[in-house]
Structure 1
Protein backbone atom coordinates (compact mmCIF):
# COMPACT_ATOMS: atom_id res chain seq x y z
CA UNK A 1 0.00 0.00 0.00
CA UNK A 2 2.93 2.34 0.63
CA UNK A 3 4.14 1.62 -2.89
CA UNK A 4 0.69 2.32 -4.34
CA UNK A 5 0.56 5.65 -2.51
CA UNK A 6 4.04 6.61 -3.64
CA UNK A 7 3.30 5.63 -7.23
CA UNK A 8 0.26 7.89 -7.19
CA UNK A 9 2.33 10.76 -5.84
CA UNK A 10 5.00 10.26 -8.48
CA UNK A 11 2.90 9.53 -11.57
CA UNK A 12 -0.74 10.11 -10.67
CA UNK A 13 -0.79 13.70 -11.91
CA UNK A 14 0.76 12.80 -15.23
CA UNK A 15 -1.68 9.92 -15.76
CA UNK A 16 -4.64 12.14 -14.88
CA UNK A 17 -3.51 14.74 -17.41
CA UNK A 18 -3.10 12.02 -20.04
CA UNK A 19 -6.64 10.69 -19.56
CA UNK A 20 -8.13 14.21 -19.57
CA UNK A 21 -6.32 15.12 -22.80
CA UNK A 22 -7.50 11.87 -24.40
CA UNK A 23 -11.11 12.71 -23.54
CA UNK A 24 -10.81 16.25 -24.93
CA UNK A 25 -9.07 15.01 -28.09
CA UNK A 26 -11.86 12.53 -28.83
CA UNK A 27 -14.43 15.31 -28.50
CA UNK A 28 -12.64 17.75 -30.82
CA UNK A 29 -11.90 15.12 -33.47
CA UNK A 30 -15.51 13.92 -33.35
CA UNK A 31 -16.79 17.41 -34.14
CA UNK A 32 -14.23 17.95 -36.91
CA UNK A 33 -15.05 14.57 -38.46
CA UNK A 34 -18.78 15.24 -38.36
CA UNK A 35 -18.23 18.62 -40.01
CA UNK A 36 -15.70 17.69 -42.71
CA UNK A 37 -15.20 13.92 -42.64
CA UNK A 38 -11.63 12.64 -42.94
CA UNK A 39 -10.44 16.01 -44.25
CA UNK A 40 -11.32 17.53 -40.88
CA UNK A 41 -8.90 15.19 -39.13
CA UNK A 42 -6.16 15.77 -41.72
CA UNK A 43 -6.54 19.54 -41.23
CA UNK A 44 -4.77 19.14 -37.88
CA UNK A 45 -3.06 15.75 -38.24
CA UNK A 46 -0.37 16.91 -40.71
CA UNK A 47 1.39 18.65 -37.80
CA UNK A 48 -0.03 17.01 -34.69
CA UNK A 49 0.71 13.42 -35.72
CA UNK A 50 4.45 13.92 -36.51
CA UNK A 51 4.91 15.63 -33.14
CA UNK A 52 3.10 12.73 -31.46
CA UNK A 53 5.32 10.14 -33.16
CA UNK A 54 8.50 12.16 -32.60
CA UNK A 55 7.84 11.92 -28.87
CA UNK A 56 7.75 8.12 -29.11
CA UNK A 57 10.93 8.04 -31.21
CA UNK A 58 12.94 10.26 -28.84
CA UNK A 59 12.00 8.14 -25.83
CA UNK A 60 12.90 4.98 -27.76
CA UNK A 61 16.38 6.40 -28.25
CA UNK A 62 16.64 7.46 -24.60
CA UNK A 63 15.66 4.00 -23.32
CA UNK A 64 17.78 2.12 -25.88
CA UNK A 65 14.92 0.55 -27.83
CA UNK A 66 15.69 -0.35 -31.43
CA UNK A 67 13.42 1.50 -33.84
CA UNK A 68 12.39 -0.80 -36.67
CA UNK A 69 10.19 1.59 -38.62
CA UNK A 70 8.75 5.10 -38.29
CA UNK A 71 5.83 6.64 -40.11
CA UNK A 72 5.56 10.24 -38.95
CA UNK A 73 2.47 10.84 -41.08
CA UNK A 74 0.48 8.87 -43.65
CA UNK A 75 -2.73 10.36 -44.92
CA UNK A 76 -3.93 7.46 -47.08
CA UNK A 77 -3.42 4.46 -44.81
CA UNK A 78 -6.13 1.80 -45.45
CA UNK A 79 -6.51 1.10 -41.72
CA UNK A 80 -6.76 4.80 -40.80
CA UNK A 81 -3.54 4.83 -38.79
CA UNK A 82 -2.00 8.27 -39.26
CA UNK A 83 1.45 7.39 -37.90
CA UNK A 84 3.37 4.91 -35.78
CA UNK A 85 6.74 3.95 -34.33
CA UNK A 86 7.58 0.26 -34.42
CA UNK A 87 10.28 -0.68 -31.89
CA UNK A 88 11.73 -3.63 -30.04
CA UNK A 89 13.75 -4.06 -26.86
CA UNK A 90 15.58 -6.52 -24.67
CA UNK A 91 12.92 -7.95 -22.37
CA UNK A 92 15.64 -9.04 -19.97
CA UNK A 93 16.65 -5.42 -19.39
CA UNK A 94 14.83 -3.75 -16.52
CA UNK A 95 15.82 -0.31 -17.84
CA UNK A 96 14.40 -0.97 -21.29
CA UNK A 97 11.29 -2.64 -19.90
CA UNK A 98 10.57 0.28 -17.57
CA UNK A 99 11.17 2.60 -20.50
CA UNK A 100 7.96 1.33 -22.10
CA UNK A 101 6.04 3.58 -19.72
CA UNK A 102 7.84 6.72 -20.80
CA UNK A 103 7.73 5.73 -24.48
CA UNK A 104 3.97 5.23 -24.15
CA UNK A 105 3.28 8.60 -22.51
CA UNK A 106 5.86 10.49 -24.60
CA UNK A 107 3.26 12.23 -26.85
CA UNK A 108 1.82 14.01 -23.81
CA UNK A 109 5.25 15.26 -22.76
CA UNK A 110 6.18 16.14 -26.35
CA UNK A 111 2.90 17.94 -26.90
CA UNK A 112 3.32 20.04 -23.76
CA UNK A 113 6.91 20.90 -24.70
CA UNK A 114 5.86 21.83 -28.26
CA UNK A 115 3.12 24.14 -27.02
CA UNK A 116 5.49 25.90 -24.64
CA UNK A 117 8.12 26.21 -27.39
CA UNK A 118 5.54 27.57 -29.84
CA UNK A 119 4.49 30.19 -27.30
CA UNK A 120 8.13 31.13 -26.71
CA UNK A 121 8.75 31.64 -30.44
CA UNK A 122 5.47 33.23 -31.56
CA UNK A 123 4.28 35.01 -28.41
CA UNK A 124 7.45 35.72 -26.39
CA UNK A 125 5.88 38.39 -24.17
CA UNK A 126 3.04 36.08 -23.19
CA UNK A 127 5.50 33.23 -22.68
CA UNK A 128 7.68 35.15 -20.22
CA UNK A 129 4.64 36.47 -18.34
CA UNK A 130 3.20 32.94 -18.11
CA UNK A 131 6.48 31.43 -16.88
CA UNK A 132 6.91 34.20 -14.32
CA UNK A 133 3.35 33.84 -13.06
CA UNK A 134 3.51 30.06 -12.98
CA UNK A 135 6.78 30.04 -11.01
CA UNK A 136 5.41 32.58 -8.54
CA UNK A 137 2.42 30.38 -7.77
CA UNK A 138 4.36 27.12 -7.97
CA UNK A 139 3.98 24.77 -5.07
CA UNK A 140 3.77 21.12 -4.31
CA UNK A 141 0.49 19.37 -3.59
CA UNK A 142 -0.60 16.91 -0.98
CA UNK A 143 -4.02 15.96 -2.35
CA UNK A 144 -6.00 15.70 -5.57
CA UNK A 145 -7.75 18.96 -4.65
CA UNK A 146 -4.40 20.76 -4.48
CA UNK A 147 -3.43 19.33 -7.85
CA UNK A 148 -6.65 20.52 -9.52
CA UNK A 149 -6.42 23.96 -7.90
CA UNK A 150 -2.78 24.40 -8.91
CA UNK A 151 -3.51 23.40 -12.51
CA UNK A 152 -6.58 25.64 -12.70
CA UNK A 153 -4.63 28.64 -11.41
CA UNK A 154 -1.94 28.08 -14.04
CA UNK A 155 -4.62 27.88 -16.75
CA UNK A 156 -6.06 31.22 -15.63
CA UNK A 157 -2.62 32.83 -15.72
CA UNK A 158 -2.07 31.50 -19.23
CA UNK A 159 -5.52 32.56 -20.42
CA UNK A 160 -4.93 36.15 -19.27
CA UNK A 161 -1.51 36.31 -20.90
CA UNK A 162 -2.52 34.80 -24.24
CA UNK A 163 -5.83 36.50 -24.98
CA UNK A 164 -4.80 40.13 -24.77
CA UNK A 165 -5.87 42.96 -27.04
CA UNK A 166 -2.36 43.26 -28.43
CA UNK A 167 -2.12 39.57 -29.26
CA UNK A 168 -5.47 39.52 -31.05
CA UNK A 169 -4.06 42.00 -33.57
CA UNK A 170 -0.92 39.96 -34.26
CA UNK A 171 -0.83 37.36 -37.08
CA UNK A 172 1.57 35.35 -34.90
CA UNK A 173 -1.22 34.89 -32.34
CA UNK A 174 -3.56 33.30 -34.89
CA UNK A 175 -0.74 31.13 -36.22
CA UNK A 176 0.00 29.99 -32.68
CA UNK A 177 -3.69 29.28 -32.07
CA UNK A 178 -3.84 27.07 -35.16
CA UNK A 179 -0.61 25.25 -34.26
CA UNK A 180 -1.94 24.70 -30.74
CA UNK A 181 -5.12 23.26 -32.21
CA UNK A 182 -3.10 20.85 -34.37
CA UNK A 183 -0.98 19.68 -31.43
CA UNK A 184 -3.88 19.41 -28.98
CA UNK A 185 -5.95 17.38 -31.45
CA UNK A 186 -3.29 14.64 -31.54
CA UNK A 187 -1.60 14.78 -28.16
CA UNK A 188 -3.48 11.95 -26.47
CA UNK A 189 -2.44 8.31 -26.31
CA UNK A 190 -3.70 5.59 -28.61
CA UNK A 191 -4.76 2.17 -27.35
CA UNK A 192 -1.35 0.75 -28.29
CA UNK A 193 0.37 3.62 -26.49
CA UNK A 194 -1.56 2.84 -23.31
CA UNK A 195 -0.78 -0.87 -23.56
CA UNK A 196 2.94 -0.13 -23.83
CA UNK A 197 2.78 2.38 -20.99
CA UNK A 198 0.98 -0.17 -18.81
CA UNK A 199 3.73 -2.75 -19.36
CA UNK A 200 6.32 -0.22 -18.25
CA UNK A 201 4.22 0.91 -15.29
CA UNK A 202 4.04 -2.66 -13.97
CA UNK A 203 7.84 -2.85 -14.04
CA UNK A 204 8.19 0.53 -12.31
CA UNK A 205 5.73 -0.51 -9.62
CA UNK A 206 7.61 -3.78 -9.06
CA UNK A 207 10.85 -1.83 -8.62
CA UNK A 208 9.15 0.49 -6.13
CA UNK A 209 7.83 -2.49 -4.14
CA UNK A 210 11.33 -4.00 -3.98
CA UNK A 211 12.77 -0.65 -2.93
CA UNK A 212 10.23 -0.32 -0.12
CA UNK A 213 10.80 -3.92 0.99
CA UNK A 214 14.55 -3.31 1.23
CA UNK A 215 13.93 -0.02 3.04
CA UNK A 216 11.71 -1.79 5.58
CA UNK A 217 14.54 -4.19 6.39
CA UNK A 218 16.80 -1.26 7.20
CA UNK A 219 13.99 0.65 8.93
CA UNK A 220 14.09 3.53 6.43
CA UNK A 221 10.95 5.52 5.70
CA UNK A 222 10.85 6.16 1.94
CA UNK A 223 7.71 8.31 1.85
CA UNK A 224 9.35 11.66 2.77
CA UNK A 225 11.96 11.19 0.03
CA UNK A 226 9.29 10.29 -2.52
CA UNK A 227 7.23 13.31 -1.49
CA UNK A 228 10.21 15.60 -2.07
CA UNK A 229 10.63 14.17 -5.57
CA UNK A 230 6.90 14.38 -6.22
CA UNK A 231 6.94 18.13 -5.58
CA UNK A 232 8.56 18.50 -8.99
CA UNK A 233 5.25 17.32 -10.44
CA UNK A 234 4.03 20.84 -9.68
CA UNK A 235 6.19 22.05 -12.56
CA UNK A 236 4.85 19.42 -14.91
CA UNK A 237 1.24 20.15 -13.95
CA UNK A 238 1.78 23.89 -14.32
CA UNK A 239 3.09 23.44 -17.85
CA UNK A 240 0.46 20.81 -18.65
CA UNK A 241 -2.13 23.49 -17.98
CA UNK A 242 -1.17 24.86 -21.42
CA UNK A 243 -2.10 21.55 -23.07
CA UNK A 244 -5.35 21.32 -21.12
CA UNK A 245 -6.34 24.92 -21.91
CA UNK A 246 -5.65 24.61 -25.63
CA UNK A 247 -7.37 21.24 -25.76
CA UNK A 248 -10.48 22.84 -24.25
CA UNK A 249 -10.25 25.70 -26.75
CA UNK A 250 -9.87 23.17 -29.56
CA UNK A 251 -13.05 21.41 -28.45
CA UNK A 252 -14.93 24.73 -28.38
CA UNK A 253 -13.62 25.80 -31.80
CA UNK A 254 -14.36 22.38 -33.30
CA UNK A 255 -17.87 22.45 -31.89
CA UNK A 256 -18.47 25.96 -33.27
CA UNK A 257 -17.24 24.86 -36.71
CA UNK A 258 -19.45 21.77 -36.57
CA UNK A 259 -22.54 23.84 -35.66
CA UNK A 260 -21.87 26.39 -38.43
CA UNK A 261 -21.21 23.65 -40.97
CA UNK A 262 -24.27 21.57 -40.12
CA UNK A 263 -26.61 24.28 -38.89
Structure 2
Protein backbone atom coordinates (compact mmCIF):
# COMPACT_ATOMS: atom_id res chain seq x y z
CA UNK A 1 0.00 0.00 0.00
CA UNK A 2 2.78 2.46 0.86
CA UNK A 3 4.49 2.36 -2.54
CA UNK A 4 1.36 3.08 -4.63
CA UNK A 5 0.49 6.02 -2.37
CA UNK A 6 4.10 7.28 -2.62
CA UNK A 7 3.97 7.20 -6.42
CA UNK A 8 0.46 8.65 -6.55
CA UNK A 9 1.81 11.63 -4.60
CA UNK A 10 4.35 12.25 -7.36
CA UNK A 11 1.76 11.70 -10.09
CA UNK A 12 -0.86 13.99 -8.55
CA UNK A 13 1.44 17.00 -8.22
CA UNK A 14 3.04 16.36 -11.62
CA UNK A 15 -0.44 16.72 -13.13
CA UNK A 16 -1.27 19.79 -11.00
CA UNK A 17 1.87 21.58 -12.20
CA UNK A 18 1.36 20.54 -15.83
CA UNK A 19 4.42 18.32 -16.13
CA UNK A 20 4.48 15.81 -18.95
CA UNK A 21 4.06 12.26 -17.62
CA UNK A 22 6.48 10.01 -19.51
CA UNK A 23 6.00 6.80 -17.56
CA UNK A 24 4.09 5.62 -14.49
CA UNK A 25 4.63 2.43 -12.52
CA UNK A 26 2.58 2.56 -9.32
CA UNK A 27 4.00 -0.76 -8.11
CA UNK A 28 6.66 -2.63 -10.04
CA UNK A 29 9.43 -4.09 -7.86
CA UNK A 30 12.84 -4.26 -9.52
CA UNK A 31 15.27 -6.65 -7.84
CA UNK A 32 18.32 -5.14 -9.58
CA UNK A 33 17.71 -1.47 -8.79
CA UNK A 34 15.68 -1.96 -5.61
CA UNK A 35 12.99 0.38 -6.93
CA UNK A 36 9.38 -0.48 -6.16
CA UNK A 37 7.80 1.96 -8.60
CA UNK A 38 8.38 5.25 -10.37
CA UNK A 39 6.84 8.29 -12.03
CA UNK A 40 8.96 9.72 -14.84
CA UNK A 41 8.09 13.26 -15.86
CA UNK A 42 9.50 16.19 -17.79
CA UNK A 43 8.71 19.89 -17.91
CA UNK A 44 9.24 23.15 -19.76
CA UNK A 45 12.40 24.68 -18.29
CA UNK A 46 11.14 28.14 -19.29
CA UNK A 47 8.01 27.83 -17.13
CA UNK A 48 8.44 29.19 -13.58
CA UNK A 49 5.18 27.50 -12.55
CA UNK A 50 6.49 24.10 -13.64
CA UNK A 51 9.87 24.75 -12.00
CA UNK A 52 8.11 25.63 -8.75
CA UNK A 53 6.17 22.38 -9.09
CA UNK A 54 9.38 20.36 -8.74
CA UNK A 55 9.30 21.01 -5.00
CA UNK A 56 5.76 19.72 -4.58
CA UNK A 57 6.34 16.75 -6.88
CA UNK A 58 9.39 15.73 -4.84
CA UNK A 59 7.50 16.27 -1.57
CA UNK A 60 4.37 14.65 -3.01
CA UNK A 61 4.68 11.37 -1.05
CA UNK A 62 4.85 13.27 2.26
CA UNK A 63 1.93 15.56 1.42
CA UNK A 64 -0.24 12.90 -0.21
CA UNK A 65 0.67 10.36 2.48
CA UNK A 66 -0.32 12.83 5.19
CA UNK A 67 -3.70 13.39 3.53
CA UNK A 68 -4.26 9.63 3.37
CA UNK A 69 -3.36 9.30 7.08
CA UNK A 70 -5.87 12.03 7.95
CA UNK A 71 -8.57 10.18 5.98
CA UNK A 72 -7.71 6.89 7.71
CA UNK A 73 -7.77 8.61 11.09
CA UNK A 74 -11.16 10.19 10.41
CA UNK A 75 -12.79 6.91 9.38
CA UNK A 76 -11.11 4.41 11.70
CA UNK A 77 -10.33 6.19 14.98
CA UNK A 78 -13.38 6.61 17.28
CA UNK A 79 -12.45 10.03 18.73
CA UNK A 80 -11.13 11.61 15.53
CA UNK A 81 -12.79 14.97 16.30
CA UNK A 82 -11.07 15.17 19.70
CA UNK A 83 -7.76 14.53 17.97
CA UNK A 84 -8.34 17.25 15.39
CA UNK A 85 -9.73 19.92 17.74
CA UNK A 86 -6.45 21.03 19.46
CA UNK A 87 -4.87 21.55 16.04
CA UNK A 88 -7.45 24.07 14.84
CA UNK A 89 -6.83 26.58 17.62
CA UNK A 90 -5.02 29.88 17.10
CA UNK A 91 -1.33 29.63 18.03
CA UNK A 92 0.50 32.70 19.30
CA UNK A 93 3.87 31.08 19.94
CA UNK A 94 5.75 27.82 19.21
CA UNK A 95 5.05 26.44 22.70
CA UNK A 96 1.28 26.59 22.14
CA UNK A 97 1.79 24.84 18.81
CA UNK A 98 3.86 22.03 20.36
CA UNK A 99 1.35 21.69 23.20
CA UNK A 100 -1.44 21.23 20.65
CA UNK A 101 0.54 18.50 18.89
CA UNK A 102 1.13 16.77 22.24
CA UNK A 103 -2.58 16.93 23.12
CA UNK A 104 -3.51 15.58 19.71
CA UNK A 105 -1.13 12.61 19.96
CA UNK A 106 -2.25 11.97 23.55
CA UNK A 107 -5.87 11.81 22.37
CA UNK A 108 -4.86 9.46 19.58
CA UNK A 109 -3.22 6.95 21.91
CA UNK A 110 -5.95 7.17 24.55
CA UNK A 111 -6.90 3.95 26.38
CA UNK A 112 -10.36 4.01 24.82
CA UNK A 113 -8.76 3.96 21.38
CA UNK A 114 -6.16 1.25 21.85
CA UNK A 115 -8.83 -1.10 23.18
CA UNK A 116 -10.70 -0.90 19.84
CA UNK A 117 -9.92 -3.15 16.86
CA UNK A 118 -10.43 -0.31 14.36
CA UNK A 119 -7.65 1.69 16.02
CA UNK A 120 -5.23 -1.16 15.35
CA UNK A 121 -6.43 -1.38 11.76
CA UNK A 122 -5.66 2.34 11.46
CA UNK A 123 -2.27 1.77 13.10
CA UNK A 124 -1.38 -1.00 10.63
CA UNK A 125 -2.52 0.98 7.58
CA UNK A 126 -0.75 4.13 8.75
CA UNK A 127 2.44 2.14 9.38
CA UNK A 128 2.28 0.86 5.79
CA UNK A 129 1.84 4.41 4.48
CA UNK A 130 4.33 6.15 6.79
CA UNK A 131 7.13 3.69 6.00
CA UNK A 132 7.05 4.92 2.37
CA UNK A 133 6.44 8.65 2.91
CA UNK A 134 10.10 9.69 2.96
CA UNK A 135 11.38 11.20 -0.32
CA UNK A 136 14.10 9.30 -2.16
CA UNK A 137 17.42 10.87 -3.18
CA UNK A 138 16.09 11.85 -6.66
CA UNK A 139 12.96 13.24 -4.94
CA UNK A 140 15.11 15.44 -2.70
CA UNK A 141 17.05 16.75 -5.69
CA UNK A 142 13.78 17.74 -7.33
CA UNK A 143 12.58 19.42 -4.13
CA UNK A 144 15.71 21.58 -3.88
CA UNK A 145 15.41 22.66 -7.51
CA UNK A 146 11.89 23.93 -6.82
CA UNK A 147 12.60 25.33 -3.35
CA UNK A 148 14.46 28.35 -4.75
CA UNK A 149 11.38 29.41 -6.71
CA UNK A 150 9.12 29.04 -3.67
CA UNK A 151 11.40 31.29 -1.59
CA UNK A 152 11.53 33.81 -4.43
CA UNK A 153 7.72 33.78 -4.73
CA UNK A 154 7.30 34.35 -0.97
CA UNK A 155 9.73 37.28 -1.06
CA UNK A 156 7.80 38.86 -3.95
CA UNK A 157 4.46 38.38 -2.13
CA UNK A 158 5.89 39.99 1.03
CA UNK A 159 7.25 42.95 -0.93
CA UNK A 160 3.91 43.49 -2.70
CA UNK A 161 1.92 43.35 0.56
CA UNK A 162 4.36 45.79 2.21
CA UNK A 163 4.06 48.22 -0.69
CA UNK A 164 0.26 47.98 -0.64
CA UNK A 165 0.09 48.20 3.15
CA UNK A 166 -1.81 44.93 3.40
CA UNK A 167 -1.60 43.01 6.69
CA UNK A 168 -1.50 39.29 5.89
CA UNK A 169 -1.10 38.18 9.51
CA UNK A 170 -4.65 36.88 9.81
CA UNK A 171 -4.23 34.83 6.64
CA UNK A 172 -1.00 33.33 7.96
CA UNK A 173 -2.72 32.48 11.28
CA UNK A 174 -5.60 30.79 9.43
CA UNK A 175 -3.10 28.82 7.39
CA UNK A 176 -1.22 27.78 10.55
CA UNK A 177 -4.31 25.95 11.79
CA UNK A 178 -4.21 23.62 8.79
CA UNK A 179 -0.43 23.36 8.94
CA UNK A 180 -0.75 22.26 12.57
CA UNK A 181 -2.78 19.26 11.45
CA UNK A 182 -0.22 18.20 8.86
CA UNK A 183 2.77 18.80 11.13
CA UNK A 184 1.13 16.52 13.71
CA UNK A 185 0.64 13.88 11.04
CA UNK A 186 4.31 14.29 10.06
CA UNK A 187 5.29 13.73 13.70
CA UNK A 188 3.10 10.64 13.80
CA UNK A 189 4.54 9.42 10.50
CA UNK A 190 8.08 10.02 11.77
CA UNK A 191 7.28 8.04 14.91
CA UNK A 192 5.93 5.15 12.84
CA UNK A 193 8.91 5.26 10.48
CA UNK A 194 11.27 5.05 13.44
CA UNK A 195 9.26 2.12 14.81
CA UNK A 196 9.42 0.44 11.40
CA UNK A 197 13.20 0.97 11.35
CA UNK A 198 13.62 -0.59 14.82
CA UNK A 199 11.52 -3.62 13.86
CA UNK A 200 13.56 -4.07 10.66
CA UNK A 201 16.84 -3.89 12.60
CA UNK A 202 15.64 -6.48 15.14
CA UNK A 203 14.52 -8.85 12.36
CA UNK A 204 17.86 -8.46 10.54
CA UNK A 205 19.81 -9.17 13.74
CA UNK A 206 17.74 -12.30 14.44
CA UNK A 207 18.17 -13.70 10.92
CA UNK A 208 21.90 -12.92 10.79
CA UNK A 209 22.47 -14.86 13.99
CA UNK A 210 20.81 -17.88 12.40
* TM-score normalised by length of structure 1: 0.67
Cα deviation 1:145-195 (Å, max 9, x = unaligned): 44433323222221226852333xxxx555544433322221101121112
Closer/same/farther in 2, CA of residues 219 and 119 from structure 1, 3 Å limit: closer
Tell me which of 119, 122, 128 is aligned to 1:182.
128
Q: How many residues align?
A: 209
Provide the residue aligned with 2:11 in structure 1.
57
1:150 corresponds to which residue? 100
Q: SS in structure 1 opposite 2:22? A: strand
Pick the aligned partner of 1:130 from 80, 96, 102.
80
Which residue is 1:198 aligned to?
144
In the TM superposition, 1:155-234 aligns within 5 A as: 155-160=105-110, 164-167=114-117, 175-223=121-169, 225-234=171-180
In 1: Cα distance, 2:112 partner to 2:7 partner:
27
**1:114 lines up with 2:68 in the alignment:** yes
Residue pair 2:19, 2:41 contacting (<8 A) in 1 also: yes
2:191 equivalent to 1:237? no
Gapped regions of structure 2 (runs ≥ 5) = none
From 38, 48, 55, give the equivalent of 1:84. 38
Q: Distance in 1 between matches of 2:97 and 2:88?
A: 11
User: Contact 1:141/1:234 (CA < 8 Å) preserved in 2?
Assistant: no
- Output the CA distance in 1 between the equivalents of 2:137 and 2:70: 26
Q: Which has the higher contact order (CA 8 A, sep 6+)?
A: 1
CA shift, 1:65, in A, is 1.2
Segments of structure 1 that go 5 or more residues without pairing to the other structure are 1-46
What do residues 97-136 of structure 1 show as CA deviations (whole Å, max 9, x unaligned)? 2222211111012222223333455xx3xx2403333214
Aligned residue in 1 for 2:58? 104
d(CA) in 2 for partners of 1:219, 1:188: 40
User: TM-score w.r.t. structure 2 length?
Assistant: 0.81
Partner Cα distance (1:230, 1:173) in 2: 27
Contact 1:155 1:245 in 2 (8 A): no
Query: Is the Cα contact below 8 Å between 1:154 and 1:241 reproduced in 2?
Result: no
Q: Please say if residues 140 and 233 of structure 1, whose CA atoms lie closer than 8 Å, have aligned partners that are also in contact.
A: no
Larger deviation, residues 100-109 vs 130-139: 130-139
User: Cα deviations across residues 198-218 of structure 1 (Å, max 9, x unaligned)?
Assistant: 222211211121222233333
In the alignment, the residues of structure 2 paired with residue 227 and residue 136 of structure 1 have an alpha-carbon distance, to the nearest angstrom, of: 15
